[in-house]
Amino acid sequence: MKYRRLGRTELTVSEVGFGVWSVATNWWGVTDEALGKRLLRQAYDLGINFYDTADVYGSGRGETMLAEALADVPRDRVVIATKFGYDFYSHPRERSGHKELPQDFSPAFVRRALEESLRRLQTDYIDLYQLHNPRLWAIERDDLFQLLDNLCREGKVRYIGVALGPDIGWEEEGIASMRQRRLHSLQIIYSILEQQPARRFFPVAHETETGLLARVPHASGLLDGTYTPGMTFPESDHRSHRKREWLERSLRRVEKIGFIYGPDTGRTIAQAAIQFCLSEPAIASVLPNITNERELQEFATAPETPPLTAEEVARLHDLFDHDFYLEPEEARA
């Protein structure tokens, strides 16, 4: 494993982190809690020291699982990031159709959320505390950021960040987080198939020394070698809600990137997708969705594979900028 500094913080994080979302919710069709905890612990043995969770994952279960999985690991050997902002306490029922829960960024709610996260994580501090999918109105709340400053002074939080979402976009929120609030990190969607608005964040991240965290590097599985035409997903898997046309169109784009993976390159397609993210120096860690031991091993070893060349990265940028040179009927299919 290789490691990078997260922006201007003192945190050193593994180039591949573990997004607890994939094992603490059923959105990827994973329901085996024992497997989830085993993967979390095995990740540490493979050199992963950065774990990204959220209080809302499994309505708190993600944080509890992480604490249980790492119970024998010294606290200062791992970097724990969690998120806040969704009020699952007042809306405890499972979300229907993967809809968002109501958000609450009031100081009183956030302080309560932090104390609950500390309890579930069995720790007295959180390394990186992230606003979870905030809209601009939340980023503009001065009372919220006064509270966050206080939490840092109290030693309960080390650094503050923002995780953009739930879907791609939110450029205004990302820029405001870096320039207006000078936050320490920004978590973004970035992959070969989804390069914007992430690429527009890069110069601002360098200017402000903001550490970037890249999630969904495999474009919801399109870039990990598992997708095939006609593939179906269980109802609980969030990808089952996507239109069939999305899968077919995306697979045509994937066909265009064969030059970055295979025996001659020393990388699998999944490892190449991670190396694409790591080709941007502002990105400190990549958060793939890990659901089994094979994926964990393959993804965790990605930093040891040959980095993409500047020419390969430039070619991937050009492909994206021209919709992978698909014919109009292919792009519409």
CA torsion sign, 181 to 133 to 22 to 156? positive
b/e map of 135-159 (b: 16 or more CB within 10 Å)?
eeebbebeebbebbeebeeeebbbb
Instruction: Determine the Cα–Cα distance for residues 36 and 64; give it in Å rounded to an integer.
Output: 12
Classify 57 as helix, strand or coil.
helix
Classify 83 as helix, strand or coil.
strand
Find out whether 162 and 187 touch, Cβ atoms under 8 Å: yes
Q: Exposed/middle/buried for 300, CB within 10 Å: 0-12, 13-18, 19+?
A: buried
| Beta strand extents in 180-282 (DSSP E only) | 185-189, 211-215
Active site residue 57: yes
Find out whether 196 and 169 touch, Cβ atoms under 8 Å: no
- Residue 43: which of 70, 6, 71 has the closest Cα? 70
Instruction: Determine the Cα–Cα distance for residues 323 and 325; give it in Å rounded to an integer.
Output: 5
| Contacts of 228 by beta carbon, 8 Å cutoff, 6+ apart | none
- Token pair of 32 as six digits: 């085996």
Query: Of 57, 86, 159, 190, which is the active-site residue?
Result: 57
Residues designated catalytic = 57
